[in-house]
Amino acid sequence: MPELLLEVGCEELPATFVRKAYTDLLTRVAVALGELYGGTFEGTALGTPRRLVVSFPDIPARQPDTTKEVRGPALKAAYDESGNPTSALQGFCRSNSVEATQLRKDEQYVWLTKAIVGLPTAELLADALPRAIKGLTFEKSMRWGGARLRFARPLRWILAAFDGTVVEFEIEGVKSGLESRGHRFYSPESFTARTLSELVPGLRERKVEPDVDRRVAAIIEQTGTVAGGTPELPDDLVDENAFLTEWPTAIGGEFRQEHLSLPAPVLTTAMAKHERMFPVRDAGGNLINRFVFIRNSGEDDSVRRGAEWVLNARLDDAQFFFKEDAKHDLDYFLEKTAGIVFQERLGTVRERGDRLEAL
């Protein structure tokens, strides 16, 4: 049976939005198919910062024909004393394009068994797919240009194919078609895809890995190769980098040796939280002045120099504030809270702290 392929292309989504977005899109399309045909539908969902992809194999080409029981007028209102059809019954027949002889009766009402011809799937999808896309919700959304739709980022293209042909619809001026796009910088030109088996290799040829599991595996493998030590690879940081990139490439870099005098949590926070870099340790478990950065585009040397400059600047700031803070004890900082207003009617931060201490 035919395959349904849907790809929603947009500006780069925040890393935390991507997995939920393509999972929700898969669920919404599956629910729509279930409403049209009954039963459950299993599909595939993939996603990168610039695209949400779902595919469903073996979709019926059209809805099955069905019948529907339609209740007509009550018997007392349907026939007169001579048993002839009344105007109420005649109106019911006209509205349903049937003759009175085609109706049946029970003890109270007149009934019609109405045949409903199933519609072509492509026609049904032209209504169901835009509703599924518009129904996606995000922690934060936006409008752009003259658009009324609220979405996480502006839509740029929609690939919608069923049985190899386009499912035609439009959302905020973006018309559906059979065109996808490669990596924004490496291969930005469009290409045609009608099935998932065409789309996935086409994307990989154009420097886009649509499968997040493969991106994660590439990040872990490459990071181990370029680290120059043992990299810290927390799952959440690996996932974040996987959802920030379409074609992840790991590069190793160094920060100035003098910054190793900072406490380890300061170093790892600056690298991992602020810059999404992986800290590196030696065989003894001590941090060394190296890091691994995952780039999505650019040249290794240029990106390395930029990453090193940014990290050293952050660590320069950290070094300054750490030295300044070390000049004072905790009582000094506690006294400073006496001059910080917590809330106009609730006093200062120091007074709030005293209340909490008393409690």
d(CA 57, CA 197): 11
Q: 59-97: per-residue pLDDT in tens?
A: 998 887 777 788 988 888 888 887 888 888 889 889 888
CB 272 within 8 A of CB 232: yes
CB 237 within 8 A of CB 278: yes
Mean pLDDT of the chain: 94
Q: With CA atoms as reference, report the closest residue to 180 among 205, 154, 163.
A: 205
Q: 112-128: per-residue pLDDT in tens?
A: 888 777 789 999 999 99
CB 83 within 8 A of CB 46: no
Alpha helices for 14-68 (secondary structure H): 15-37
Angle at 189 between CA 184 and CA 195, to 5 degrees: 100
Report which DSSP code applies to 274.
I
Helix or strand or coil: residue 169?
coil
d(CA 316, CA 318): 5
Q: Which of 64-73, 162-171, 179-188, 217-226 has the lowest mean pLDDT?
A: 64-73
pTM for this model (two decimals):
0.84
Q: For residue 82, what pLDDT is reported?
A: 79
d(CA 87, CA 251): 83
Residue 237: partners with Cβ closer than 8 Å, 6 or more residues away: 272, 276, 278
